Each structure stands twice: as C-alpha cells, then as structure tokens.
Chains A and B, each alone.
Chain A
Amino acid sequence: MMNSMNNVEFVNELVNGAVKVIKTDVVDNFQVSYEIKKNDVHLLLTRLKGAGWIQLSYLSAIDWLEENKFELVYILFNWEKPVYIQVRAKIDRENPVMDSILPIFPGAKYYEREAHEFFGIAFPGNPDYEKQLILEGWDDIPPLRKDFDPQAYSDRKFPKRDYPQDYSVKDPKESRQAKRAEREKRATSLRGGKKQ
C-alpha cells in the first residue's frame, strides 16, 4: 500500500516521457487516465507493454454527438505494479478509422469487432472486423450511436400487446407549473399585491 503512490508517479513519468499528453486524470491510488492524440496510441501502448502492462482489460468507444467525434478507450493492467491505465483518443465521427492494435495485444480481436458492429468504426489490420458477431441480419444504423432510438425500432417491428383502455385520464395536457403560477398570483393579490 505504501508504494501505490509511487506506482502512479512511475506511470506518470513513463507516459509523459513517451508521448505528449492532452489531459491527465488521477482517479485514485490505483487508476490513472490519459487523453492523447490518435497517432500516438500505438507508440504508447507498445511502451506500456514493454514496461509490464501486459493485460488488456477492455477496449471500447464512446460517442460524443455534439463534438462529432468518437472516443476510443483502452484499459491496461499490470499485476506487479497494480495501476489501471486508461488511454483515450478521439477520432473523427464521419469517417471513423483506427489502426488495429492486434500486433500488440492479440486479445483485442473481438473487442474491435464488437466496436465495429455497434459504432461503425473500421479497424484495418484486423482480418475479419466486418463480420457480425452479436447481431444477426441487422438492417439499421449501428445501435450504440446516440442518434439511434431503440424504442422507435421496437415499436415499429415488434407488435405490443393491446390492453383495453377501461380507465379515464383526467386531462393529460394540464400543466402543474401553470396551476402553481396561478395560485401564487392569487395569493399575492390577496395580500395586497405585495410579496412579504
């Protein structure tokens, strides 16, 4: 426990010495995250693997719709110096292409395939990233993008059960805010138009 802070500092020196870091975030004693540029990802991952971070825990993507970018995240772990390192890089959303890290971590094969299926990111270098893994015969945009509405898809394709409507709704368009404003106005008018 005493050398967990040393581990984080060790990681900080290693990463800052290798590439230029855009943003650093120390989450706690056992986790650090770095945001770097897309072209530096391979270099940094190779360096980290050489320094002992040989387990790839997770690889995925995040969809930032307003900035028009995807953000790829790689999470590595080392059992000797236990620190989780999150490496994040942003890529373009219109034409998402990212070189595959299969030569560095062979375990990334299926993570990249799934990222292609759910976000639409291409990974040249991975031999069969275009085959469908989890969905079968999918006919719409990649589902985990923010502009896909699963409720609309479900209503369109899968019929729902009709329940008999044997209750009455009072007035669905009544607004509570309007009624509250009415009440306040009446209360202040009763007090002589002055707020106390």
Chain B
Amino acid sequence: MKQMKLFLGPQHPGMHGNASVHMFVDGDIIKRSYLLPGMLHRGFEKAMERKLWVQNISLIPRVCVPEPDINEMAYAQGAEKLLKLEVPERAHWIRMIMLEFARISAHLMAYGGLGGPTGNYTLMYHAHADRNLILDIFEQISGARVYHQYIVIGGVRQDLPVGIEKDMHEFLDSLESRLGEYRVLGVDNPSIIVRVKDTIMLPAEVVWELGVTGIGMRSAVGRANDLRKVMPYARYDQVEFEVPISTYSDARCRVDIKIKEIQQSINIIRQCLAKMPEGPVRVKPGRGQSMRWTVPAGYVYSPVESSRGEFGYYMVSNGGTNPYRIGVRGASYPQGLLGIEKYLPGTRIDDAALWVDTMGVCSPEIDR
C-alpha cells in the first residue's frame, strides 16, 4: 500500500480562506487528513484586552470576515447583559434587519464558493452579483461596505436613512424571484449532483460527538435546533419564520437548506420593516464618559446564531475600563478541525474542498 503526502495548500483556487488541508492519499482516497490553521492568526484575544470597551468596537468586526455583524451583536449583547442595560425598541428591530442581511450575504457567498471546486464558475458570478447589491445597501446604512461598526453597546449607532425601505424591498423582490434559478443551477444541476449527492454524509451521532451546530446539525438531527427559536434574542419571538430541517445529511441537502434559509430570511426582513416602531435608537453614555465607561464584574457567554452555527463570545470583566478576557467561540471550530481529522478519511481528494465549503468552515474565526 503506497501512500503519498499532499496538501491542498493555502494557495489553491478551490480553497476558501487561508487554511490548508494536509493529507496522506492512496490513489484517490484519503487515508489521514489534518487541517492546518493559524495562517490568519492576529492575536485578537490579546488585543481586545488592551483596549477600552468602546475602542474594541472597531476591532471586533474583523474576527469573522464574511459576516461581520454577528461579532458586533455578540459583543454588544454580552456587555449589555453585564450592564443590565435595556436597549430601545427600535434598535432591536434594526439589529434584526442587519443580522438577516448579513446571513443572506454569507449564504450567497458559500453558495458561490461551491463553484470553485466543482468548476461551475457561473454560480460565483450570480451569487456575487447579488451580494454586491447587499453591500451597497450596507454602505447606505452605515457608511462602509464590509466592516460596519454599526451595532454598538447601547443600541445602534444611528437611525436608518430616509427612503432605504424602498431600496430594500426592491432588492428582496428581485432576489426572491431568482431563488428558483439558484436552485436549478446549483441543486438540480446534473453536473453538480454527481459531486454532491450522497457524499460527505454526517450521521446524527457524529454531530453530538463533534459539537457541530448550525446547518450541519439541522440537516442530520431533524430537529429545529436554532438559537433564534430556542432562546430568542432581539425580538425574534415576534416574527414568524420556519427553520428548514432534514434527516438525510449529504452535501446536496445542505446546499438545499441554504437556499431555503435565504427565503426565510427574506420573510423575516419584510416582517421587520412592517412592524418596526418609531423612537430613539441608542442609549448613549454620558457626555465625555465613553473613555471611562466601566462594566460591572461578571462572567457571561453570549451566543448568536450565525449562518454557520453557534457563534459566541465569552466575556469576563473585573469592573475595569478594559475587558479582562474575551474568548471567541468560532462557529466552524468543531467541524473544521475535528471534523476534517475524523470524518474526511475514506472520501476522495475532491471532497476535501467540498467539505470546507458545504460544512461552512471559515478560517478567520478558527484562528482569530
């Protein structure tokens, strides 16, 4: 039995993010495999300890790059739990709108990423064309396309601009009418079905063993284990939406669930725009107090449901002006590191890049 050492290196057209999968292969079948993280390590947890509570807001969105709003939401939610601060009503609804738009854009990016390993670059063109429209909406709301720094402790930085509802409705209508096309291109396409049907299966016991959350769990276990339903934060209990689930968990099923979730997010945003009340959007600290703001001592874990799973910040404060320790629980930590080591052997080399895409392994949040 001969074995060859390969690595699906960091510089690869089918790879998502800067991580490499090292493997021993025999012919085409992987025998042993390992993910090499650490190429995007910046020392965030150390950097966050050295800055004030307000200064961290500009550092936080860079932890998870494709979907930066979940970082701000988890940080603000955790600090508000320690401060026992009540955020104004309108701010909750605006936060929900931003989070759902971020979820749609992350799902579109993952869908487009399916195009790289399978050779169908058309998927990427369609997905990024729509995603660019979302980034334009973000630019109108917060001033920046990718890193918004919009959700802060105490609410949202400023109110939505006048006339943005019309743009949002236009975009949502156009995206909804194209979801059928996405399904035909990506899920029912014979050349992609050959790659994704009955491959990369994830049985239910594996889910509990690894600690996988998000779409990987919902497609295998068959229950609606979504944090927005089970422990609702920010008025998710006042909007109606479904959580798509399944029990047959192969890669095609997961891509199908992604498209259904985009549809559900569109429903949520429409309900938010209809039900949003008027009012203030921010609880500001006193004049000149931002730099001296202290948070009472405590330990809190604040989780948020991101497009890849449960994303949480573990925040420890000792009553000072700087956070004492912030630990980031990346949503793709279990499925990226442990999943590739235990459950990739036995599949073929071309499935390695598909695992990274359909299971939602995002390398910046593994390395921080």
Contacts and interface: CB of A to CB of B under 8 A. Distances in A.
Judged by CB atoms under 8 Å, the answer to whether A and B touch is yes
Interface of A: 1, 25, 27-28, 30-31, 33, 54-58, 60, 62-63, 73, 75, 77, 79, 82, 84, 86, 88, 105-107, 109-111, 118, 133-136, 143-144, 148, 150-151
B46 to A, nearest CB: 6
B325 interface: yes
B338 A60 contact: no
Contacts of B230: 79, 82
Contacts of B38: 133-136
Given A107-B334, A110-B333, A57 B81 contact: no
Interface of B, secondary structure class, is mixed
B77 to A, nearest CB: 11
A184 to B, nearest CB: 20
A110 B298 CA distance: 26
B301 A75 contact: yes
Nearest to B366: A134
Contacts of B223: 79
Contact of A134 (B37, B208, B325, B334): B37
Given A73-B299, A75-B314, A107 B211 contact: yes
Given A31-B301, A33-B299, A62-B324, A54 B367 contact: no
Interface residues of B, number: 37
Contacts of B45: 118, 144
A51 B211 CA distance: 17
Which 3 pairs, one residue from A and one from B, show the smallest C-beta to C-beta distance? A134-B38, A107-B211, A58-B329
A79 B314 CA distance: 19
Given A58-B312, A63-B325, A86 B299 contact: yes
Interface string B170-187: 000000000000000000
A193 B300 CA distance: 53
A192 B277 CA distance: 59
19 contacts: A25-B299, A30-B231, A63-B325, A73-B299, A86-B301, A106-B338, A107-B334, A133-B37, A133-B38, A134-B37, A135-B38, A136-B38, A143-B43, A143-B46, A144-B45, A144-B46, A150-B43, A150-B47, A151-B50
A84 B338 contact: no
Contacts of B325: 62-63
Contacts of B327: 58, 60
Interface of B: 37-38, 41, 43, 45-47, 50, 81, 208-211, 213, 223, 225, 230-231, 237, 298-301, 303, 310, 312, 314, 316, 324-325, 327, 329, 333-334, 337-338, 367
A7 B367 CA distance: 35
Contacts of A134: 37-38, 41, 367
Contacts of B50: 150-151
Contacts of B324: 62
B243 to A, nearest CB: 12
Contacts of A88: 299
B234 to A, nearest CB: 14
B61 to A, nearest CB: 20
Contacts of A144: 45-46
Contact of A55 (B37, B213, B367): B213
Contacts of B211: 55-57, 105, 107
